[in-house]
Structure 1
Amino acid sequence: MSDHPPLLPIRFPGARIGDLWAVATGEGPPLVLLHGNSEDHHVFDALVPMLASRYTLIGLDSRGHGLSPRGGVDLRIADMADDVAATLQGLGLAGVPVLGFSDGGNIALELALRHPDLVGALVLVGANLFPGGLKPVSKVTTDVAHAVAHTTARVLPGLRTLSQRLGLMVTDPNIDPAALGRIAVPALVVVGERDVIRPEHSRLIADSLARGDLVEIPGVGHMIPREAPGELAALVRGLLG
Structure 2
Amino acid sequence: MRRTLILVFLVLAIPLHTAMAAERWEALPPTPAPVPGLKTGHAELNGIRLFYAEIGQGSPVVVLHGGLANSDYLGNQVLALAGHHRVVVVDSRGHGRSTRNDQPFGYDLMTDDVVALLDRLNIQKADIAGWSDGAIIGLDMAMRYPNRVGRVFAFGANTQTSGLKDGFDKNPVFAAYMARAREEYTHLSPTPDQYDAFQEQIGKMWENQPNWTDAQLRTISSPVLVVDGDHDEGIKREHTEYIAATIPGARLLILPNASHFAFLQDPVLFNAALLDFLGDR
TM interval, short-chain normalised: 0.7 to 0.9
% identity of equivalent residues: 31
Contact 2:155-2:228 at 8 Å conserved across structures: yes
1:222 to 223, 240, 260: 260
Look up the equivalent residue of 2:42 and give its one-letter code.
R
SS at match of 1:47: helix
Q: 1:129 & 1:140 partners in 2: Cα distance? A: 22
Tell me which residue corresponds to 1:79.
109
Q: Normalising to structure 2: TM-score of the pair?
A: 0.73
Tell me which residue corresponds to 2:203.
166
Q: How does 1:1-241 map to 2 (within 5 A)?
A: 12-19=38-45, 20-138=50-168, 159-195=196-232, 196-241=234-279
Q: 2:51 & 2:254 partners in 1: Cα distance? A: 31
- Residues 220-240 of structure 1: per-residue CA shift (max 9 Å, x gap): 010122112222211122112
Contact 2:66-2:131 at 8 Å conserved across structures: yes
Query: Displacement, 1:72?
Result: 2.2
- Give 5+ residue unaligned stretches, structure 2: 1-36, 179-192
Contact 1:40-1:62 at 8 Å conserved across structures: yes
Q: 2:56 & 2:268 partners in 1: Cα distance? A: 17
Q: 1:177 & 1:140 partners in 2: Cα distance? A: 30
Q: Which has the higher contact order (CA 8 A, sep 6+)?
A: 2
Query: Displacement, 1:131?
Result: 1.6
Look up the equivalent residue of 2:64 and give its one-letter code.
L
- Give 5+ residue unaligned stretches, structure 1: 1-10, 146-155
Q: Over alpha carbons, which structure has the higher Rg?
A: 2
Query: Displacement, 1:158?
Result: 5.5
Q: Normalising to structure 1: TM-score of the pair?
A: 0.84
Q: 2:115 & 2:211 partners in 1: Cα distance? A: 19
Look up the equivalent residue of 1:119 and give its one-letter code.
V
Farther off after superposition, 225-234 or 11-20: 11-20
Look up the equivalent residue of 1:208 and give its one-letter code.
T
How many matched pairs? 219
RMSD: 2.1
Contact 1:100-1:106 at 8 Å conserved across structures: yes
Farther off after superposition, 192-201 or 225-234: 225-234
SS at match of 1:46: helix
Q: 1:12 & 1:157 partners in 2: Cα distance? A: 27
Q: 1:169 & 1:210 partners in 2: Cα distance? A: 25
Which structure carries more helix by proportion? 1
Query: Displacement, 1:217?
Result: 0.1
Query: Displacement, 1:61?
Result: 1.0
SS at match of 2:225: strand
Structure 1 stretches of 4+ moved >3 Å: 139-142
Cα gap change, 1:57 to 1:132, in 2 (>3 Å): same
Cα gap change, 1:235 to 1:138, in 2 (>3 Å): same
